[in-house]
Structure 1
Amino acid sequence: MTTRFSRLVTAALAPILVTGSLALSPIAGALDLDGYLGLPLTNRLSNVEGGGVHSALPYDLPTLERLVGEARESGLPASTYSALLLQYRLVQSTEQAGIDLESWDPFEGFAANRSNMIKSYRYYQDFQLSHRELQWAGMGGQVGGDFGGGIADIEWVTQMYDTPGLQQAARDIINHVETAFGPEAVAQLPGGLSVLADHAGDITTEDLYWFVTQVVIMQKAIYSDLMPMHYVYANEGLPGLEEMHRAGIFGDDIMDAWRDVASGDPDRIAHGNMTLLNREQGWVVSQMWDDVRGYKDGLGESFTYMMTLAGSPSVAGVPALRDYKPVTLQGTLPDGRGATLHTPLPSWDWSVYEQRWEYVTTQLLPRYRDEVEHNWPALKAKLQVPYEQQFEAARATSRIPQILGDVVHATYVTIP
């Protein structure tokens, strides 16, 4: 009797065997597996609820290992147990990172998830320290702490928005531009600045909590997608990743990326890591950032622009987000002369995928690669700093009013 036919017979006899004295543990195990086949990845990006990829799946690692083993032995296509397989890999990675997946709920906000965030990024950096080719993990750990430490603490963010100087500083910048070039020039300023000037006083604590929670959801979404792959690569190599590929957990592009990462060739390694990074910024969080920016008819743009003002990756040689592509406006002075206004405000918004990806590929990626290939001792020392210290060193969010105030003084006009 074939394995597949045996499973059909088992399913047909289930009512008898479960209720009668002939119920045997091997058959019960097979029935257990049947209940986990074909499950959809309803919570794959952690944006539905806390926990794993589907609420029906177990969290006990020995149980998951047994079920996945049965699924493999059954001869069924890997795609029929993709949710079970991803849950298994996710639990393996979270246990190794010291995180309890079942209780990991990003909807509880930053304070409840602070420890998990720090453990996550420590885990990222540990992959880089043990595998020089895992550059996405190293850069993700370093930059993740920069952003997490800078914007995720609801108490600091609330304090910032309660500061009257924030809205006034944004208004001062706009008034400065209007005085120099007129109202037409104001329309060329970043939309997030105008939202801050007009509506910062309307932002509630609930709005801020929602924003911070979205950031926490994104952080877990990125972990849930990419860390199981890293765990498998480090512990089982390409064969383990090929099973995930056959299961449909990721496509050909990501499988090829992992082959590049494992190749030993510096250019292929860099390309593979770039593909993983594009998956993170494109496939995983792109729509989430769009949703944040569009929150309450555009009020969310004040949050995303604020983040662009505050963000300052600690990768050596990488400019702060606000220093990349600053605003320059062409206009006409009251006396008719043409002039250019220069102001140290970012002309872009981190939440816009195309703008974010340009910054990543022209600034972050090449400079981080250079650190790995040419300045490894310094990078290694930086990554070995206790993550709590790295996290706290990134707290720049409360300085936003000061940053905006400095912009007014640093704005100037040049005349050809």
Structure 2
Amino acid sequence: MTHHTAGRSPRVTASRCLPGRWTWPVRLAVLVTSLLLGLGAMPAVQAEPGYAAYLDLPAVNGDGAGGGGLNPALPLDESVLRAALDQARADGVAPPRYGTLLHQYWLVVATRNAQIDLAAWDPTRGVAVNERTFNQVYVNYLRLTTEHPELWWAGLAGIAGGSFASGFFDLRDVGVILDVPGIHQLGNAVADLLRVTPAELVAKVPADIKLLATEGSRLSAADVTWYQTRLMIMQKHIFTDLVPMHEAYLAEGMAGIDEMLAAGVIDDGIRTAWQSVASGTRDGYIDALIRMTDREQNVVIADQWDATSGGRGAIGRVLTYVSTVAGKPAVPGVRAPGNFRPAIVSADVAGRTLSLRTPLPAFNWADREDRWTYIMGDLNPRHIDLESNPARAASVLGEPFWNKLARGRAIARIPELISDMTQQWAVVE
């Protein structure tokens, strides 16, 4: 008979009695159990959130120079972007970390509403590929302002854009047939007029006019193609910057704008513009128009205009000046640049003070200060006049874009422009 010692369990006794048979398995079991319990006590490895790859990305294509969206690492699927954005917000991610994700989301919304294929939008692919998109940008501006009359900047972009697009198509025609009415003929006409003008006056003529005379006839189809690409890049840059914030405001009000500010997508100045829109007052709409125009021209594309003007030797200046000569925004009452500030110079010629009066502009649209002077001196004031008359605004803004495009094409007016120039070019005392 086996006797149990008081205070000891049978298992302990058995272990002592059968050390060779049970000690190792028991110890192994204890070890395994301890390891399993220890692993269970350790924190589980957390899976990386689905949006992690979309954080801290730069907007490498924010200037519109390439195809697609802001960064190739970001998807172009609206639902995927929204899900990632919502999860990042819910997890308390700091807005600056998802700034490009946020911007991309509203850009995708903007291009969807504009009926533009963002994936295919690449200015470097040329005019034929981008023609529909180029037009659709302006169609969309008019859509925004007709659906939301408080968006005065969109109205200006749509109307002036019709004129801009008209000039764009003029360039396409000139690029195809360079020896018909176009830049060659315009440059030759100016050269002929300068030859019969006293040298003392010619010396004071703006440099852009002289360049048109000396370089205009040398323009090539490759030069025009380059310029068209520059224009398309700037157009995409403006859309990429300003239209997403329009969609954020329309969908979420100032909360959408404030998130873009917190994320570093926009600055305080443009946030103030949206606060002005939200005021619902005429003064607010005027303030927003000026601030948005300032951002467009003096922040978004200012450097690109500088680069275009200085590109391809003297040809960049020639092309930007030709755009100035032929340009006349279709806002009612706006003067053509040559009427707003014509080139008029005076000089002493053989003891007499003579003046040369021309219908050509004394400035180049590509130059920042002169461009802003024209915008604030004529373009914006006339647009404010238009928007201040709701019935008139509805009529002008509601006109189909294609009508504006056809009416504004300068190519059909070049012979008339040259005729007017020769008649109005005069040397007087």
TM-score by length of 2: 0.85
The residue aligned with 2:391 is: 377
Q: 1:33 aligns with which of 40, 44, 51?
A: 51
- SS, match of residue 358 in structure 2: strand
**Equivalent pair of 2:183/2:217 in contact (CA under 8 Å):** no
Contact 2:174 2:183 survives alignment (8 Å): no
2:107 pairs with one of 82, 90, 99 = 90
Q: CA deviation at 1:204?
A: 1.9
Partner of 1:297: 313
Contact kept in structure 2, 1:160 and 1:166, CA below 8 Å: no
Q: For residues 60-209 of structure 1, what are the structure 2 equivalents within 5 Å?
A: 60-152=77-169, 154-159=171-176, 161-163=178-180, 166-167=183-184, 169-174=186-191, 176-177=193-194, 179-182=196-199, 184-209=200-225
Matches within 5 A, 1:358-377: 358-374=373-389, 376-377=390-391
Letter in 2 for 1:128: T
Q: Which residue is equivalent to 2:7?
A: none
Q: Cα offset for 1:143?
A: 0.3
Q: 1:46 to 1:180 in 2, by over 3 A?
A: closer
Partner of 1:21: none
Question: Is residue 235 from structure 1 mapped to residue 232 from structure 2 by the alignment?
Answer: no
Q: 2: CA distance between counterparts of 1:292 and 1:218? A: 10
Quote how far apart the aligned CAs of 1:299 are. 1.7
SS at match of 1:35: helix
RMSD: 2.0
- How far off its partner does 1:107 sit? 1.2
Q: Go from structure 1 to structure 2 and tell me whether the alpha carbon gap of 1:164 and 1:103 turns closer, same or farther (over 3 Å shift).
A: closer
Q: Are 2:63 and 2:237, in contact at CA under 8 Å, matched by a contact in 1? A: yes
Measured in 2, the distance between the counterparts of 1:322 and 1:181 equals 22
Pick closer, same or farther for the CA change 1:89–1:207 going to 2, 3 Å.
same
Deviation, 1:170, is 3.3
Deviations 1:225-249 (A, max 9, x none): 0000111111211100100000001
Equivalent pairs, count = 387
Q: 1:180–1:333: 8 Å Cα contact kept in structure 2?
A: no
Q: Which residue of 1 aligns with 2:368?
A: 353
Query: Could you say if the C-alpha distance between residues 207 and 332 of structure 1 is closer, same or farther in structure 2, counting changes exceeding 3 Å?
Result: same
Partner of 1:45: 63
Q: Retained in 1: the 8 A contact 2:201–2:356?
A: no
Residue 333 of structure 2: aligned partner: 317
Residues 312-364 of structure 1 show CA distances to partners (whole Å, capped at 9, x for unaligned) of 11111101122210011112234x21122211110001111111111111111
Identical aligned residues as a percent: 34
* 1:196 to partner: Cα distance: 2.3
CA distance in 1, matches of 2:361, 2:404: 25
Q: Distance in 1 between matches of 2:268 and 2:275?
A: 11
Q: In the superposition, relative to structure 1, how do residues 196 and 394 fare at CA in structure 2: closer, same or farther (>3 Å)?
A: same
Q: Is contact 1:170–1:194 with CA below 8 Å preserved after alignment?
A: no
Instruction: Pick the structure with greater CA Rg.
Output: 2
**SS of residue in 2 equivalent to 1:162:** coil
| 8 Å CA contact retained: 1:129, 1:380 | yes
Contact kept? 2:334, 2:378, Cα under 8 Å: yes
What CA distance in whole angstroms lies between the structure 2 residues aligned with 1:216 and 1:81?
Answer: 28
Cα deviations by residue, 1:102-148 (Å, 9 ceiling, x for unpaired): 11111112222221122221211122112222110000011011111
2:291 matched to 1:275?
yes
Contact 1:167–1:198 (CA<8 Å) still a contact in 2? no
CA distance in 2, matches of 1:284, 1:401: 35
Conserved 8 A contact 1:341-1:411 = yes
Asked if the contact 2:201/2:355 (under 8 Å) is kept, the reply is: no
Give the structure-1-normalised TM-score.
Answer: 0.88
- Segments of structure 1 that go 5 or more residues without pairing to the other structure are 1-8, 15-26
Q: Aligned ranges for residues 10-25 of structure 1 at < 5 Å?
A: 13=45
Contact 1:294 1:300 in 2 (8 A): yes
Alpha-carbon separation, structure 1, partners of 2:181 and 2:418? 12
Partner SS state of residue 313, structure 2:
helix
Answering whether residue 219 of structure 2 is matched by residue 226 of structure 1, we say no
3-state secondary structure, aligned to 1:240: helix
Question: What letter corresponds to residue 53 of structure 1 in structure 2?
Answer: L
User: Contact (CA 8 Å) 1:327, 1:347: kept in 2 or not?
Assistant: yes
